[in-house]
Amino acid sequence: MQIRDERDEDAAGISRITAAAFATAPHSNGTEARVVEALRQAGALTVSLLATSADGCIVGHVAFSPVQIAGVAGRWYGLGPISVAPDLQRQGIGGALIREGLARLAELNADGCVLLGDPAYYSRFGFVSDPALTYGGEPSRYFQRLLLRGKVPKGDVRYHPAFDVA
């Protein structure tokens, strides 16, 4: 498996793998592939990484995009959507994408990263729930952050408007 940045010709493959990964996910609203497309169109895919198999097929993808905290656009980013081919899940591909993505954010001097997801999975990468950062009405246990630099800001987090395609 290799991890690399997305290229122009990857867009359709990324949409396909995103739709496939979320097709059976219980919390999916079916819009994840469109969110990635809308982020790309808006120039808001700050980091967009692919995992590819030895024969070059796309087997996973992760997107990171800027978020606002308490109405302020700073250096915090949201992780997601993240997708791994259904028949290749639980083999470390998602973890490799997350670790590489966080390393890229650190290179970009990001202050931190947030996500909405299962703490049982994301805590292994250093994500923690923090009541200082809220995400609408979502239970704080599922909204997690990873501090890369400085102090944790306080406030409600707003993802890029591309997420509103839902």
Binding mask 6-25 for ligand COA (x = CB under 6 A): ---------------xx--x
89 sits near ligand COA (criterion: CB under 6 A): yes
Stretch that binds ligand COA, among 5-13, 77-85, 130-138, 158-166 (CB under 6 A): 77-85
Say which residues have a Cβ less than 8 Å from residue 100's Cβ, sequence separation at least 6: 3, 49
Assess contact for 15 and 36: CB atoms under 8 A.
yes
84 sits near ligand COA (criterion: CB under 6 A): yes
How many residues contact ligand COA, by CB under 6 A?
Answer: 17
In whole angstroms, the minimum distance from the beta carbon of 151 to ligand COA comes to 26
**Of residues 92, 111, 129, 165, which one binds ligand COA by CB under 6 A?**
92
Stretch that binds ligand COA, among 36-44, 105-113, 114-122, 125-133 (CB under 6 A): 114-122
The SS3 call for residue 132 is: coil
Could you tell me where the DSSP H helices lie in the chain?
11-22, 32-41, 93-107, 119-122
Place of tokens 């409600």: 156
**Of residues 66, 117, 126, 153, which one binds ligand COA by CB under 6 A?**
117
Dist. CA 159–CA 91, nearest whole Å: 29
**Of residues 94, 104, 112, 148, which one binds ligand COA by CB under 6 A?**
94
Ramachandran sector of residue 101 (left: φ over 0; alpha: ψ -120 to 50; beta: rest): alpha
37, amino acid identity = E
Q: Residues interacting with ligand COA, by CB under 6 A?
A: 21-22, 25, 82-84, 89-95, 117-118, 120-121
